Amino acid sequence: MIIPFEKLSKEALNRVIEEFVTRDGTDYGIVEIDLEQKIGSVLRQLEKGEAFIVYDEITMTTNIVLKDEITKAKYD
């Protein structure tokens, strides 16, 4: 289920994004990027429709996925 980011409060949106960018396994390359930059980058992707917040009802988890991932999952 896609959750429109605009429906979340600013605080809830920031928490979802922060949890996403601080997960184990997230790698931003050789150059270290600070937390605020990471959050800003993900927020811009959400605003441009390049990424979406999704909620999985089975696992009761929230994730942020790229538009391409959603499109690919539909046709796999």
Reply yes or no on whether the pLDDT at 61 is more than 90: yes
Task: Report yes or no: 20 and 63 within 8 Å, Cβ to Cβ.
Answer: yes
Query: Counting beta carbons within 10 angstroms of the beta carbon of residue 23, is it exposed (0 to 12), middle (13 to 18) or buried (19 or more)?
Result: exposed
Read off the pTM: 0.82
Domain parsing of the chain, residue ranges: 2-75
Which fold does the domain 2-75 belong to in CATH? Arc Repressor Mutant, subunit A (1.10.10)
Structure tokens at 36: 């605020």
Reply yes or no on whether the pLDDT at 68 is more than 80: yes
Instruction: Indicate the average pLDDT of the chain.
Output: 88
